[in-house]
């Protein structure tokens, strides 16, 4: 059944406004900018220099989903050598001169379409990724549309950028209309479709612009159109006027029963791992629906999702931000672990097979438009009896016993004697994988592990992260794993935080009771308030919770993490 729609929210670049490919660079604007800052390069060289710095900024902000103000953009990225006071006084002017190089104009039927939708009773708003705080307001004023759009959410002012759902939710709140009764109109699958779906919008419409002069317009001056084959929009259109057929009349105010039951009161900037699905008395898709009702914005596919289960997943409405290797699970976890099918294996055929699974995980993440994958970097092939025995003694309260201390010393020495060839295989595997993953737009996180014979320890992680110093390759911090090895007296928890916070791609959040991990936050020993400051703003936060937890338990865990500062409400 078609959802009830009362508000329509628009993207700007590539949707309402386009760049004319036939226009030439306006060197007068560039020369004025150079004159203000005292740059003596020829304009072409200056443009190339700023374009390269802008490219670095784009790469950073698309990964972090943070958008800087004009002042911070120009002082930190585009003109870092200029006196800060000069930038602060002139950043908005600098930025507009830079953006004025090419002609931009509204699509020919944009104004009439917007006015007609407003007359039909739809509330209108804008959510746009942009580095300019002035360009969109000027465009609206020039076309007599200012009073029709409220609110206007611009990423450079808001501080976040699409596809982060916070911008979409801010627009819905500003309109006073539930997200399920909002439609979003955009041109980019990776930003517009994914962001609106995470925010719970009722419908998403994608415009491709083929109904105009095809080839004459750039769809979006900043966009690299990233296809997401697994997520589909509700409609695709070629001209804005087609919206008048899709939205003939504004819906009534009463939400459906389904909307009331599934629309969360509050959305959290956090995902839930499908680890929680196992053994639930719910279908795979119903677990997503239930978790969404608690306020989870997104999800992680864990390493126990076989192809048959994956085929049941509703990729059109639930966003997978992270995929945990190996996924899809072509073998069971037990078969992988006990068969030594790991990237650390000394058996070349098993190592290659594990590497193939890892590549399939990346391929799946790309097809879903996911932002990151999680890698277990293998383990030492041996009988880990000392590890298991130490945990038995821990549970019995015998941590200080002679046997416990002897086992700990023996295990540390035994692991040190065995690690070298396995670490060499991990390095060999990751070197091949880094080459495969480069340019994929998917971040890669190497996870700290639960067992001491697993790879990596902190000194090993430092070595592995040295294989690639780019921002898409980093550390997946597992809170529970770090806490467990700390409790056993093997590795200080803070070692991971103090050494690798800067390289943190994502976080697995769960509590630990003794040495039993994957507990609901707030029931165990983890000091979440202590770790919160170490988690970078752009890190992907995922609750990795045992299926024994109930929905009320999960709700309490979300509240604990929010109160501690580990996750935010959006």
In a domain, 139, yes or no: yes
Pair (91, 225) in one structural domain: no
Pair (450, 375) in one structural domain: yes
In a domain, 312, yes or no: yes
Plot region of 431 (φ>0 → left; ψ -120 to 50 → alpha; else → beta):
alpha
Containing structural domain, residue 199: 7-20+104-246
Q: Please identify, among 99, 121, 138, the residue that sits at the C-terminal boundary of a domain.
A: 99
Give the separation between CA 12 and CA 18, rounded to whole angstroms: 8
Mean of pLDDT values over 132-161: 97
Mean of pLDDT values over 275-285: 87
DSSP element (H, E) containing 351: helix 348-368
Give the pair of three-digit tokens for residue 395: 């549970």
Pair (317, 442) in one structural domain: yes
Report the residue count for the chain.
570
Handedness of CA 400, 404, 410, 416 (dihedral sign): negative
Query: Which CATH number covers residue 157?
Result: 3.40.50.1000
Identify the band that residue 222 occupies on the pLDDT scale cut at 50, 70 and 90: very low
Pair (160, 39) in one structural domain: no
Give the pair of three-digit tokens for residue 124: 């209108």
Pair (180, 271) in one structural domain: no
Asked if the model's pLDDT at residue 131 lies above 70, the reply is yes
Q: Please identify, among 215, 246, 277, the residue that sits at the C-terminal boundary of a domain.
A: 246
Pair (152, 68) in one structural domain: no
Asked if the model's pLDDT at residue 262 lies above 60, the reply is no
Asked if the model's pLDDT at residue 127 lies above 70, the reply is yes
Give the pair of three-digit tokens for residue 309: 């289960």
Exposed/middle/buried for residue 295 (C-beta within 10 Å: 0-12, 13-18, 19+)? buried
Encode pLDDT of 479-518 as tens digits: 999 999 999 999 999 999 999 999 999 999 999 999 999 9
Closest CA to 356 of 462, 259, 429: 429
If one counts the domains in the chain, the total is 3
Mean of pLDDT values over 466-487: 97
Pair (152, 123) in one structural domain: yes
Pair (547, 445) in one structural domain: yes
Pair (306, 431) in one structural domain: yes
Give the separation between CA 82 and CA 60, rounded to whole angstroms: 21
The pTM of the full predicted model, rounded to 2 decimals, is: 0.91
Pair (58, 43) in one structural domain: yes
Exposed/middle/buried for residue 565 (C-beta within 10 Å: 0-12, 13-18, 19+)? middle
Handedness of CA 320, 324, 326, 331 (dihedral sign): negative
Max CA distance (Å), the chain: 82
**Least confident segment among 262-266, 407-411, 416-420, 549-553:** 262-266
In a domain, 399, yes or no: no
Encode pLDDT of 326-372 as tens digits: 999 999 888 998 899 999 999 999 999 999 999 999 999 999 999 99
Pair (147, 83) in one structural domain: no
pLDDT score at 33: 85
């Amino acid at each position: 059944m078609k959802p009830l729609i009362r508000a329509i929210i628009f993207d700007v670049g590539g949707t309402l406004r386009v760049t004319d490919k036939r226009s030439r660079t306006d060197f007068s604007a560039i020369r004025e900018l150079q004159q203000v800052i005292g740059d003596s390069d020829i304009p072409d060289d200056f443009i190339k220099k700023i374009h390269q710095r802008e490219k670095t900024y784009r790469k950073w902000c698309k990964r972090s989903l943070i958008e800087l103000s004009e002042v911070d953009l120009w002082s930190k990225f585009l003109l870092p050598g200029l006196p800060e006071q000069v930038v602060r006084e002139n950043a908005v002017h600098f930025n507009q001169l830079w953006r004025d190089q090419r002609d931009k104009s509204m699509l020919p039927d944009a104004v009439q379409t917007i006015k007609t939708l407003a007359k039909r009773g739809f509330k209108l708003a804008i959510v746009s990724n942009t580095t300019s705080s002035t360009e969109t307001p000027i465009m609206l004023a020039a076309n007599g549309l200012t009073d029709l759009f409220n609110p206007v959410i611009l990423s450079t002012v808001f501080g976040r950028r699409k596809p982060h759902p916070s911008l979409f939710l801010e627009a819905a709140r500003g309109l006073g209309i539930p997200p399920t009764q909002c439609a979003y109109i955009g041109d980019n699958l990776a930003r517009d479709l994914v962001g609106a779906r995470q925010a719970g919008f009722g419908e998403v419409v994608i415009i491709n612009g083929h109904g105009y002069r095809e080839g004459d317009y750039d769809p979006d001056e900043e966009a690299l159109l990233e296809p997401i084959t697994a997520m589909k929009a509700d409609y695709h259109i070629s001209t804005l006027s087609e919206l008048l057929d899709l939205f003939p009349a504004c819906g009534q105010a009463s939400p459906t029963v389904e909307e009331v039951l599934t629309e969360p009161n509050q959305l959290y900037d956090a995902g839930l791992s499908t680890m929680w699905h196992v053994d639930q008395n719910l279908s795979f898709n119903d677990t997503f629906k239930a978790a969404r009702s608690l306020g989870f914005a997104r999800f992680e596919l864990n390493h126990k999702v076989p192809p048959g289960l994956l085929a049941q997943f509703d990729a059109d409405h639930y966003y997978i931000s992270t995929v945990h290797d190996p996924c899809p699970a072509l073998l069971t976890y037990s078969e992988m672990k006990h068969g030594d099918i790991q990237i650390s294996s000394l058996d070349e055929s098993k190592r290659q097979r594990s590497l193939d699974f890892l590549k399939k995980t990346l391929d799946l993440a790309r097809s879903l438009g996911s932002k990151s994958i999680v890698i277990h970097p293998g383990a030492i092939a041996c009988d880990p009896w000392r590890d298991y025995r130490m945990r038995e003694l821990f549970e019995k309260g015998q941590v200080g016993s002679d046997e416990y201390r002897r086992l700990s010393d023996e295990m540390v020495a035994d692991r040190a004697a065995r690690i070298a060839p396995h670490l060499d295989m991990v390095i060999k595997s990751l070197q091949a994988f880094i080459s495969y993953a480069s340019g994929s737009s998917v971040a890669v996180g190497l996870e700290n592990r639960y067992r001491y014979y697993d790879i990596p320890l902190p000194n090993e992680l430092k070595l592995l992260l040295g294989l690639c110093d780019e921002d898409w390759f980093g550390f997946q911090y597992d809170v529970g794993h770090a806490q467990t090895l700390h409790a056993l007296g093997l590795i200080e928890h803070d070692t991971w935080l103090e050494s690798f916070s800067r390289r943190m791609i994502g976080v697995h959040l769960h509590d630990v009771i003794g040495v039993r991990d994957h507990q609901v936050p707030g029931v165990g020993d983890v000091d979440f308030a202590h770790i919160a400051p170490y988690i970078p703003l752009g890190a992907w936060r995922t609750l990795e919770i045992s299926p024994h937890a109930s929905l009320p338990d999960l709700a309490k865990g979300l509240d604990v993490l929010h109160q501690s500062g580990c996750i935010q409400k959006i």
